Structure 1
């Protein structure tokens, strides 16, 4: 194996490791953000439906 490959291979592996770690971290952050956003939207939709049902019941009374 030539000296060129002995120098390049460790840096290439290190670069790949850093890239994979970065992709993992970013993916986890984005997924967490989307999950929180969906939860908030579902809670808001539940509140809207609950308020609408309460208003409908008041109309019938």
Structure 2
């Protein structure tokens, strides 16, 4: 059975930048370069799935 995700499972650009303790501009640059976490475009804004961000962070582990 597939579970439905709620909007609370997604972060805005500003929320993710704050959670990662980086400037929003840095996150924009990472997105432009293709090195940022996967995102969904909703109108003019981006939303980040919390699970996708966790996986992205694990992939960056050194």
TM-score range, shorter-chain basis?
Answer: under 0.3
Q: Find the structure with the greater CA-based Rg.
A: 1
The structure carrying a bigger helix percent of its residues is: 1
Structure having greater relative contact order (Cα 8 Å, sep ≥ 6) = 2
TM-score (norm 2): 0.26
